[in-house]
Structure 1
Amino acid sequence: MAQSPRLAALLRPCGMIWFSICLHWEAFKGAVRQHGLGALVRLPQVRDAAIAKLFCTTSSGFIAFEDTTIIPSLVQAATGVVLELGPGPGNQIHRFDTSLISHIYGVEPNDHFKDDINAKVEKHSLQDKYKLIVSGVEDSDVLRQEGITEGSLDSVLCIQVLCAVKDPKAVMKEVWKLLKPGGKFIFWEHGWSKNHLTMAEQVVSIGSLKKRCRRANMKKAILNPAWSTFLGCHMTRNVLADILNSGEWENPDEIEAPEDAYSCLPRIQGVLVKKA
């Protein structure tokens, strides 16, 4: 019997959650072997190691899936001096059009991704163009040492990152400041965004549509505690509002929200241009 789309959309994230729980347990056991009871005060490091292992292990699957989406063409829109926000295991490195790029800074706070990123940089001969900076984009002192200052970037690439940072509002305000006037914020994200984009234009008054929205929101509310704990990613953020409220953009009406009635991770995507 064919699986219903709604059930499949529910089971996919459940599978990822279970795999991550297993990796967290393995990372914790390794920390106990190394530090004894001291592992209990190293839980953030255990979590970082487990999440990095999860996304490095599944990297090829994510790349294959992303090849079926708009992501490759979004990455190729990056030009000039580029900051890649949260590259994780480096899934986008091979997609850059290096003929249009002078330099790429990968800003990633989880240093457990370092080996995978460096391996991909070497594989694609980008040692002279791609530099990994182990920090958050909010760490302005670290970025300043690399020459990344207010108004210095031509492009910022953000692929499924704002769901995972501690404070997406602060991250987006920093991104907007770092971009030059006319600079591009290139993104593919998820969260509450699709529903909010629709509701921003109209008040929903059709009963059946209201029910569908409530069911989707309930499903995400049920999954989000485990998803955010074991994948470091929040399903229920209004990412669209965080992007739009970070500063003035020339083309906010060009943001796209593809239709996906069953997904727990409705997408928003686009290339926003910072207002001059």
Structure 2
Amino acid sequence: MKKLVCVLLLFMIASCADKKYEVIKEDVNVNICRMQIKIPQKINEEQLEAIANELRDDRKGYDKLWISFYLRDLLPESDGNGAWAVASFTPGFEMDILGEKIAAGKLNNKAAAPFPQYQNAMEVLKANNDYQNQCLEDLSKGDDSHVRVSSEFLPNEDISLLKQQAKRDVVYVIFQVFAETKLDKFTVTSIPIVRTSFNPNLMYDGKKQDVLKQTITITRTKAQEVLKKYLKTNAFKDLYQLDGTMYLPNEKFETLKHAELESVFADLN
């Protein structure tokens, strides 16, 4: 029995020693996953890429994956500390070791990472990679800014999910565009797309479900009124948090898109 206990203890010690990282936080929103990872010490690019690929292999179902790496003494809960490195699959792989370029204590300084600003709605959506290819279309005419976005589904998805996601896409785009542009007014249309498979090796056969189309023409002033009603702020930037060098939607934004979706959509309409 003593021998068995010793063997088990040795196994546990070895397992702990082999642990390369720890998941601090993982947020999932439809087809996007964001992770915060703690690593025990600074590692080289090859080791960092290996961990990123391992995390990606377990999450291939998501279109996009963002990973922020934190050193054990510089965790995100500590005031003034930021990510030591970041990696992303959008879907191509990118990685940046921030700690080699800037002091960790400065990473949460918003002056070190300016909030992104673009000229129009299409620039915003292309830069953020949330909608691509057949899921993004510019419908603008003259000075009237109008974009169409789509989320994709398989044929067996419940129709209520498609309806809900169409509204969620509209809400997301409205606040995202006003946060990252100086537009005073624009129109967003959301139309779910149904396709038989997400296999990239098969011919694309997605079809827009026009019967589920949602369209809202919105002004900045009205969007601010809705923002103030639900979150007691009229600053669109308050919907984001700085994670490393990236501004990502925070819990306030998630509240608008999920917990308060139906009410927010009705107030914007």
User: TM over 0.5: same fold?
Assistant: no
RCO greater where, 1 or 2, for CA within 8 Å and sep 6 or more? 1
Q: Give TM-score scaled by structure 1 length.
A: 0.24
Q: Give TM-score scaled by structure 2 length.
A: 0.25
Larger radius of gyration: 2
1 or 2, which has the higher helix percentage?
Answer: 1
